[in-house]
Amino acid sequence: MVNMKIAYIGGGSRVWARKLMYDLALEPRISGTVALYDIDLEAALQNEKIGNLISENKESLSKWHYVAVSSIEEALHDADFVIISILPGTFKEMESDVHLPEKYGIYQSVGDTVGIGGHLRALRAIPIYIDIANKIKENAPHAWVINYTNPMSICTRILYKIFPEIKAIGCCHEVFGTQKLLADMVKEMLKIERPKRSEIKVNVLGINHFTWIDKASYKNIDLFPLYKEFSTKYYDEGYQNEGNWEADYFASCNRVKFDLFKQYGLIAAAGDRHLAEFMPHIYLRNLETIEYWKFRLTPVKWRILEREQKIKENKKLINGEMDVRIEESGEEGVGMLAALLGLEDLVTNVNLPNYGQIKGLPKGAIVETNVLIQKDRVRPIYAGQLLPDLNNLMLRHLYNQESIVEAYLTKNKQMAINAYLNDPMVTLPRGQAMQLYDEMLQNTKSYLPDWILK
């Protein structure tokens, strides 16, 4: 059994930390220590207790020692792996990101990657990630880093900008949801047993939350003809494969996916809520349009209630009022750890600088493609090139992301403004757009430097 140390930055997490703990408990080939660092030390201390309860549970297949630490340096010392899962700012700032634009008629279904909300969240995240990158360089330069924080592309880009030799990957589960949809399709259209997600082989190319599939197969069957028939069949009514879109803020009817296939001939490989925010003003024009496409806006008020519910659950677990039930999360983070330790090979999609794995997109920009993960290495798999119409949309967002990063690093407020105005979701006249921008900057000013507030 391999023994190792994981540094968890954001170790007070009420959602992602529990998922990691469950998956580690179910992996019998590795064990070790997880150092939980969080600016909320009390939350990290709670997770220390929960993690050790999970490790001691009879269903656990491995043994882990969880310990909350008071400094990031202590967490990183002698770490083999670093996991980053944080909220840049608080729900107060996120409330402004997502809901203040609604006063101006701009609706965001998620608000954490692109659009106005993604822009402001990035401005808060960049200084935090500059510090994290420097701390990793000083204390754990050889560790592998797995980032889960959004905006994924910008956070991962900063890690490489500040510490070019870093061994970092950005991980996201959106493609997994599309593989599950394709598995459901195979079951229905071929009248066979539903395949496992891992049996659906796909070629992924794009950027985080705006990923696309140009090849998909099950065994020796090309799934594109099936998907054309399937998406046409369910184009109007939609297809709900996970949850009820009217009751679940994270569910949809996949109608945005089907519409994008009709437009571009490729399978959009993220959830409808994310995809809608990357497109010109089509799916988020107003509340009636959103309802027509059958997906939901995710209110920050709900996220606050969810956090309160998780806090109550944590207390019940610690007090023995709730049983520990270990279950797989569906994430691949622990599988990546196993592969990097040389215990298996793994092909999966991750976010990495573009070394040439996607032709037609800038070198160095963070892109999402399949990679081969083996002992102590991550090798991008050549993904090909998008056709010009879709590539143009991709470039607009990529250059916006690059502009936000460069604006922050060079203290160029005008460049940040230009990136904001260039986002497809900013549909206001310039005067109103700048009024909204100034309001939003003020609402998150405690996380921003003086140069961008002037």
Nearest alpha-carbon partner for 400 in 214, 95, 157: 157
Amino acid sitting at position 64 = W
Alpha helices for 140-234 (secondary structure H):
152-162, 174-190, 224-233
Peptide bond preceding 424 in cis form (omega within 30 of 0): no
What is the Cα–Cα distance from 65 to 53, expressed in whole angstroms?
10
Nearest alpha-carbon partner for 202 in 225, 222, 184, 173: 222
In a 10 Å sphere around its CB, with 0-12 CB exposed, 13-18 middle and 19+ buried, how is residue 205 labelled?
buried
Give the CA distances from residue 422 to residues 158, 320, 400, in Å, rounded to whole numbers and listed in that order.
Answer: 21, 52, 7
What is the Cα–Cα distance from 155 to 422, expressed in whole angstroms?
20
Which residues face 217 on adjacent strands? 201, 222
Q: Which one is catalytic: 65, 77, 99, 173?
A: 173
Any catalytic annotation for residue 173? yes
What is the Cα–Cα distance from 16 to 84, expressed in whole angstroms?
10
To the nearest 10°, report the CA torsion of 209, 25, 64, 15: 40
Residues recognised as catalytic: 173
